[in-house]
């Protein structure tokens, strides 16, 4: 039996319980010719897996981020500027890229030179910046994923792809249990960047290499 015959056999078995004619697409210009073709899909899958308190959801996000080799820091709003300043110092950063809408109080404790996110910044200029600090649009606990949507407190997509060190501030109110909840908060017309840990690949001989198409180091400050 050829590969083609095996594949077609699987298709036939998958369609065995479909009423005859339902799998036939409607003819162009004649949408009513096959009334049974389009059927509403029963979307009865779980929107999240398990019952968790808000605190447990934050813990799950922190754990999954760590599994992806992101460095997670927990703090409250009153100590956020202190934590961000400490991360820049420990990294040895002499410059930090700042989106135009970032809350200025987040950098109040830092003396690192600030670089504005400008349209005329070249890739070489961005590459010379040591760190970037942004907010996020939403974070998904079950997948350990942070989503950026290009809002003013996150800046253009490129500023989180070129610098080697990304500090992302995630507030507790932005954390959702699962992807379906995240999609409800996101605008599909915006430039969405989904981040699960630092940039990495294992394409070559399964050796993990970080910093391939984004920052080598992702530090997440989770504000409870």
49 domain residue, yes or no: no
Same domain, 117 and 167: yes
- CA dihedral angle for residue 195, residue 199, residue 204, residue 206, rounded to 10 degrees: -70
Same domain, 65 and 91: yes
71 domain residue, yes or no: yes
Summarize pLDDT for 131-185 with one digit per residue, the tens: 999 999 999 999 999 999 999 999 999 999 999 999 999 999 999 999 999 999 9
47 domain residue, yes or no: no
**219 has a pLDDT exceeding 50:** yes
* Average pLDDT for 204-217: 69
Same domain, 34 and 83: no
pLDDT score recorded for residue 218: 94
**Cα–Cα–Cα angle for 98, 104, 215, rounded to 5 degrees:** 30
Same domain, 116 and 190: yes
**126 has a pLDDT exceeding 90:** yes
State the Cα–Cα distance between residues 59 and 53, nearest whole angstrom: 10
pLDDT score recorded for residue 28: 57
* Average pLDDT for 119-124: 90
Radius of gyration of the chain (CA): 23
Summarize pLDDT for 85-117 with one digit per residue, the tens: 999 999 999 999 999 999 999 999 899 999 999
Is residue 210 helix, strand or coil?
strand
State the Cα–Cα distance between residues 185 and 167, nearest whole angstrom: 22
**212 has a pLDDT exceeding 80:** no
- Enclosing H/E stretch for 64: helix 54-67
CA distances from 134 to 86, 147, 175, 204, 216 (A): 16, 11, 16, 31, 16
45 domain residue, yes or no: no
- Of 30-44, 71-85, 120-134, the one with minimum mean pLDDT is 30-44
112 domain residue, yes or no: yes
Same domain, 24 and 102: no
Same domain, 125 and 70: yes
Same domain, 26 and 63: no
Please report, for the domain that includes residue 164, its CATH number.
Answer: 3.40.50.10420
pLDDT score recorded for residue 42: 73
pLDDT score recorded for residue 201: 66
Mean pLDDT value across the chain: 87
76 domain residue, yes or no: yes
pLDDT score recorded for residue 34: 47
State the Cα–Cα distance between residues 219 and 108, nearest whole angstrom: 18
State the Cα–Cα distance between residues 182 and 145, nearest whole angstrom: 10
For the whole model, what pTM was predicted? 0.78
Overall number of domains in the chain:
2
Same domain, 103 and 208: yes
pLDDT score recorded for residue 217: 93
**200 has a pLDDT exceeding 80:** no
Same domain, 135 and 207: yes
Same domain, 115 and 147: yes
Model confidence band, residue 18 (pLDDT cutoffs 50, 70, 90): low
Residue 67: which domain range? 54-223
State the Cα–Cα distance between residues 181 and 48, nearest whole angstrom: 9
Same domain, 136 and 30: no
138 domain residue, yes or no: yes
Model confidence band, residue 19 (pLDDT cutoffs 50, 70, 90): low
Same domain, 168 and 67: yes
Model confidence band, residue 21 (pLDDT cutoffs 50, 70, 90): low
CB-CB contact of 176 with 164 (8 Å): no
């Amino acid at each position: 039996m050829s590969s083609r015959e095996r594949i077609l056999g699987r298709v036939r078995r998958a369609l065995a319980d479909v009423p005859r004619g339902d799998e036939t697409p409607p003819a162009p210009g004649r949408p009513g010719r096959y009334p049974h073709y389009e059927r509403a899909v029963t979307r009865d899958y779980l929107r999240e897996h398990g019952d968790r308190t808000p605190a447990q959801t934050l813990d799950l996000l922190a754990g999954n981020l760590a599994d992806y080799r992101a460095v997670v820091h927990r703090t409250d709003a009153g100590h956020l500027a202190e934590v961000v300043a400490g991360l820049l110092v420990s990294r040895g950063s002499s410059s930090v890229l700042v989106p135009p809408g970032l809350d200025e109080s987040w950098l109040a404790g830092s003396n690192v030179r600030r670089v504005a996110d400008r349209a005329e910044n070249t890739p070489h200029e961005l590459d010379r910046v040591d760190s970037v600090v942004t907010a996020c649009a939403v974070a998904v606990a079950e997948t350990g994923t942070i989503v950026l949507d290009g809002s003013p407190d996150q800046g253009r997509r490129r500023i989180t792809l070129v610098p080697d060190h990304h500090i992302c501030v995630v507030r507790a109110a932005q954390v959702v249990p699962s992807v379906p909840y995240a999609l409800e908060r996101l605008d599909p017309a915006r430039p969405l960047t989904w981040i699960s840990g630092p940039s990495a690949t294992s394409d070559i001989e399964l050796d993990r290499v970080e910093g391939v198409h984004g920052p080598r180091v992702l530090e997440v400050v989770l504000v409870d």
